[in-house]
Amino acid sequence: MLNYSANAICDLEQRVYHPAMTLKNLSFQTPYLTLDSEFYDLTQPTPLDEPYLISFSPDAAKLIDLDSNSGDDPDFVSLLNGTLIADGSSTYAMCYAGHQFGNYNHWLGDGRTLNLGRVNGWNLQLKGSGETLYSRMADGRAAVRSSIREYLMSESMHHLGIPTTRALGIIGSKTKIVRNRMEQAAIVMRMSTSWVRFGTFEYFYYSGKHDKLEMLAQYVIGESYPHLVEDEDRFYKMFCEVVERTARLIAQWQAIGFNHGVMNTDNMSIEGLTIDYGPFAMLDDFRYGYVCNHTDRAGRYAYSEQPNISYWNLTMLSKALTPLIDKERMQKKLDDFGAFIYPDAYVDAIRKKLGLSIKLDDDIDLVTDLVVALHDVYVDHTLFFRTLSRYDGDRSPMYDIVMEPVILDAWLIRYDDRLSHETRTQGERQEAMLKTNPKYVLKNYMIQEAIELAEGGDNSMVETLLNIARHPYDEWPEFERYAGDTPEECKNCGLSCSS
Ligand code: AMP
Ligand code: MG
């Protein structure tokens, strides 16, 4: 029963009638700038020529209480282009280091990104806004191609329930940049509750500036783990939470079939978010060892390696934290990550995809055998789980989507047996699975179609994909072709880091 006290009504009215902010009264705070100047570089953006709007995300706007029509306001383009400096904002690039493909690089940092500050708990950034102190030999720019990829995929991951940074909008321009070919430059406005990376800690550890390391840890606790602020054991507990959040994140990547492609420690979030979308891919046919980043010849960041690499990255973080936290305690937590934190998170995620509501000890075997079967039967990852969501004991719809039905049959016999231990009805299971296993994910070939149109001035498909991404579990008869198998010539293609 609702409590209609005077205060409640007042609260309710405030929530309902509170006018959303417009771009004019958007107000920023810059708590990161309270840290020492070594943590950042104060730099002005370099605007793009003839900027124009490509897309605006009303869902992301809601997070900062920004009017959902702001995309129609010319000021929005100016904000993204860095020519409208909002109240309280100062533009700064963050300093960080990182292990790239296993090798330590001390000189990374935001080479093409400028932070504007924080609004309503979200830190806003312009990616592609020109050179900073950390640009090294690069141009500080981002191509329309890679910006659309990051924009669409981060919004898509959010709607799939996967922790991620967000994106508020994207602008294109007439500015040309050199990549493998001449490309158009863009700026995407990214948002995150934290932009601190494992590599931010590494920078101060390897500089030998352990007082700064502590300052950073305090900042991270205040920003991302505020419930620990007063805790005497806060640094250790922060590390534990990073380990647990990273485990859950990677389990979700594996479950949805996401290959990040560049899991360097500078691309690992201290909040366990998916950050820095580069040559990522959603799996087409399930290939366990798939490597989306074709610069990654050794397959270090293959889909199958993501759990191991996250452990390695957490180990690098623990090393950077040794001046603050007892090494053995951190090692014990890392051991737990491998022994049960990650495996449990992964099996839980797959159990959910399989519609299993109770936990049985040997579920791990069912899940492991499923991975082997998926690899052997040649089936589209998303299509498999979506089709399984309607499974009613008739195997023919499952046979229709695989190349090796006999192999799948052996697993389905076990699945039937496992379902017999469930207490939910078939209808309840199917309903839950249809809300867990998306009908649509954004595959690279779909995003590529949108990019090619956008490069020719037609942004309609970016909008279409954004809408599909916002409702991944819905049926869209007009987009049925995106729900099936990836066209043969587009399957499991790789992308390069160049962006
Ligand atoms: P990434 O692999 O995209 O996460 O980038 C690795 C590092 O290179 C980061 O420090 C980036 O800021 C920097 N970087 C990548 N592309 C550019 C660019 N076009 N201009 C300046 N810095 C860049
Ligand atoms: Mg990066």
Print the SS3 string covering 161-206. Answer: CCCECEEEEEEECCCEEECCCEEEEEEEEEEECCCCEHHHHHHHHH
Q: Which atom of ligand 1 is nearest to the CA of 140?
A: 20
Question: Ligand 1 pocket, 269 CB below 6 A?
Answer: no
Q: Which atom of ligand 1 is nearest to the CA of 497?
A: 2
**According to the model, what pLDDT value does residue 6 have?**
34
**According to the model, what pLDDT value does residue 367 have?**
98
Number of neighbouring beta carbons within 10 Å of residue 460: 10
How remote is the C-alpha of 7 from its chain's centroid?
Answer: 39
In a 13 Å sphere around the CA of 6, the CA atoms on its Cβ side amount to 0
Q: Which atom of ligand 1 is nearest to the CA of 262?
A: 2
| Token pair of 194 as six digits | 């934290």
Q: Whose CA is closest to 131, among 94, 181, 169, 93? A: 93
Dist. CA 498–CA 488, nearest whole Å: 25
Dist. CA 115–CA 96, nearest whole Å: 14
Do the Cβ atoms of 441 and 386 come closer than 8 Å? Answer: no
Residue nearest to atom 23 of ligand 1 (CA): 111
Burial pattern 244-280, b for ≥16 Cβ within 10 A else e, equals: bbbbbbbbbbbbbbbbbbbbbbbbbbbbbbbbbbbbb
> Under DSSP, is residue 170 helix (H, G, I), strand (E, B) or coil?
strand
Q: Which atom of ligand 1 is nearest to the CA of 142?
A: 19
Question: Ligand 1 pocket, 140 CB below 6 A?
Answer: yes
| Token pair of 492 as six digits | 């499991």
**According to the model, what pLDDT value does residue 24 have?**
84
CA of 406 to the centre of ligand 1 (A): 47
Burial pattern 164-192, b for ≥16 Cβ within 10 A else e, equals: bbbbbbbbbbebebeeeeebbbbbbbbbb
How remote is the C-alpha of 391 from its chain's centroid?
Answer: 30
Among 48, 94, 100, 112, which residue has the most ligand 1 atoms within 8 Å of its CB, making it the best to mutate?
112
Question: Ligand 1 pocket, 95 CB below 6 A?
Answer: no
Dist. CA 401–CA 282, nearest whole Å: 18
CA of 84 to the centre of ligand 2 (A): 26
Do the Cβ atoms of 81 and 48 come closer than 8 Å? Answer: yes
CA of 222 to the centre of ligand 2 (A): 23
In a 13 Å sphere around the CA of 274, the CA atoms on its Cβ side amount to 32
Q: Is 266 a catalytic residue?
A: yes
pLDDT digit string, tens, across residues 348-392 = 999 999 999 999 999 999 999 999 999 999 999 999 999 999 999
Among 135, 144, 153, which residue has the most ligand 1 atoms within 8 Å of its CB, making it the best to mutate?
135
Residue nearest to atom 13 of ligand 1 (CA): 111
Do the Cβ atoms of 33 and 125 come closer than 8 Å? Answer: no
Element (H, E) at 127: strand 122-127
pLDDT digit string, tens, across residues 166-207 = 999 999 999 999 999 999 999 999 999 999 999 999 999 999
How remote is the C-alpha of 145 from its chain's centroid?
Answer: 18
Residue nearest to atom 11 of ligand 1 (CA): 111
**According to the model, what pLDDT value does residue 11 have?**
41
The runs of H, that is alpha helices, within 287-423 are: 306-320, 327-336, 342-353, 363-377, 381-388, 396-399, 405-419
CA of 266 to the centre of ligand 2 (A): 6
CA of 136 to the centre of ligand 2 (A): 14
Question: Ligand 1 pocket, 376 CB below 6 A?
Answer: no
Do the Cβ atoms of 101 and 312 come closer than 8 Å? Answer: no
How remote is the C-alpha of 11 from its chain's centroid?
Answer: 33
CA of 268 to the centre of ligand 2 (A): 8
Question: Ligand 1 pocket, 178 CB below 6 A?
Answer: no
Number of neighbouring beta carbons within 10 Å of residue 104: 13
Dist. CA 268–CA 108, nearest whole Å: 14
Q: What angle do CA 348, 350, 351 make, to 5 degrees?
A: 60
**According to the model, what pLDDT value does residue 4 have?**
33
Question: Is residue 349 packed enough to be buried (19+ CB in 10 Å), middle (13-18) or exposed (0-12)?
Answer: buried
Do the Cβ atoms of 229 and 236 come closer than 8 Å? Answer: no
* Ranges in the chain, pLDDT < 50: 1-17
Q: Which atom of ligand 1 is nearest to the CA of 96?
A: 10
Question: Ligand 1 pocket, 278 CB below 6 A?
Answer: yes
Backbone angles phi, psi at 377, to 5 degrees: -90, -5
Element (H, E) at 55: strand 52-56
Cross-strand pairs, 93: 41
Dist. CA 147–CA 127, nearest whole Å: 8
**According to the model, what pLDDT value does residue 275 have?**
98
Question: Ligand 1 pocket, 109 CB below 6 A?
Answer: yes
Dist. CA 375–CA 373, nearest whole Å: 5
Question: Ligand 1 pocket, 276 CB below 6 A?
Answer: yes
Active-site residue (options: 266, 276, 285, 380)? 266
Question: Ligand 1 pocket, 138 CB below 6 A?
Answer: yes
CA of 330 to the centre of ligand 1 (A): 30
